[in-house]
Amino acid sequence: MAYLMPWVIQGEEAGQFAAVEQGFFNDEGIEVEIVPGGPDARAGALLASGSVQFAVMNPAGIYTNRAEGIPVVGVGGINQVDGLLVMCKTSTGIKSFGDLKGKKVGVWLGGGEAGFQAAAVTEGLAVADVEWLPQKFSMEEFFNDAFDCASATEWNEKHIVYKEGYKAGVDVVELRPADVGLFLPGDSMATLESTVADQPELVQGMVNATLRGWQWVCSSPENRKTGAQYTVDAAPDLDLGLQIIQVEEMCSLMAQGPAKAEGAIGAVAVDSWKQSADATLAAGQLTEPADVPSALTTQFVDAVPAEYRKITW
């Protein structure tokens, strides 16, 4: 099975790499090929064409693909909070989403922009009041002042910026949708409705192994380092220290919200997905409200063995 990751190879995908290296997919009788993502990888199109059979997407991407006629469905949660933020240099004078009017903001198109656009709308702006620009999979435009603000993740780009000597609150302002009351789920497992209908055992195995991989990675400091090393083995140019930081951040994001309340990772929480649908609509990426129940299913997460989901960290 070809399994598309949300981004280029990095610590964000340590759980999936661990599931391969530790034999968890094999235990489910599945041979998996990890397919790196990136700024030009359109998960819905790749699923629809059969180029990949499973993908990691955020709910906003699932909703927009469904609106375009691609019957993608969420089958398992990973991040209960999406971990996306906007970073603005203090020299821009920006202090809140309400200050973005007329500004250039780099975003990852295809779902990564929805939370920020919804936050701007919540603060009284129209989506068109801000110049939303496609961002590369780096912070190049931020460093070169091509953007007033750039998108970042808690586990990657944020740390790259601070590693370059910038200081939070002094040189850089961080803006998160949560600042205006928007708590949106992030990385989630997705496939086509036809796969769910025709091959439920396969879907169950993919969800089992993915969550088992992440539970194994997060369960101890040694395993977190090993999981990070798996990604470095796959992409030797990566900095191991940064990948360990990514894994630490991922384990935190996986254990928040509904997962924290349940004591188990992987939740597909309908209330959270509804908030994501509302944000996607508010951002103008949908022309009508999404049919949330049709865009997700909890049947597979509910059937995952408890030991594969238990939060021990």
- In a 13 Å sphere around the CA of 301, the CA atoms on its Cβ side amount to 23
Neighbouring C-beta atoms of residue 103, cutoff 10 Å: 18
Q: What is the mean pLDDT of residues 90-103?
A: 98
Q: Please tell me the total count of domains within the chain.
A: 2
Task: Indicate whether 99 and 74 sit together in one domain.
Answer: no
Tens digits of residue pLDDT in 132-170? 999 988 899 999 999 999 999 999 899 999 999 999 999
Task: Indicate whether 96 and 64 sit together in one domain.
Answer: no
Q: Quote the pLDDT of residue 38.
A: 87
Q: Quote the pLDDT of residue 190.
A: 99
Task: Indicate whether 69 and 88 sit together in one domain.
Answer: no
Tens digits of residue pLDDT in 171-181? 999 999 989 98
Task: Indicate whether 75 and 192 sit together in one domain.
Answer: yes
313 assigned to some structural domain? no
Residue pair 158/253 in contact (Cβ under 8 Å)? The answer is no
Task: Indicate whether 7 and 126 sit together in one domain.
Answer: no
Task: Indicate whether 149 and 197 sit together in one domain.
Answer: no
| Token pair recorded at residue 287 | 């022309």
Q: How confident is the model at residue 220 (pLDDT cuts 50, 70, 90)?
A: very high
pTM recorded for the entire structure: 0.89
Residue pair 135/151 in contact (Cβ under 8 Å)? The answer is yes
Q: How confident is the model at residue 283 (pLDDT cuts 50, 70, 90)?
A: confident
Q: What is the mean pLDDT of residues 235-249?
A: 96
52 assigned to some structural domain? yes
Q: What is the mean pLDDT of residues 6-29?
A: 98
Task: Indicate whether 143 and 239 sit together in one domain.
Answer: no
Please list, residue by residue across 211-226, b when 16 or more beta carbons sit within 10 angstroms of its beta carbon and e when fewer do: bbbbbbbbeeeebbeb
Task: Indicate whether 118 and 171 sit together in one domain.
Answer: yes
Please give the mean pLDDT across all residues of the chain.
96
DSSP label of 298: -
Task: Indicate whether 242 and 282 sit together in one domain.
Answer: yes
Structural domain for 137, as ranges:
84-180
> CATH number, domain at 290?
3.40.190.10
241 assigned to some structural domain? yes
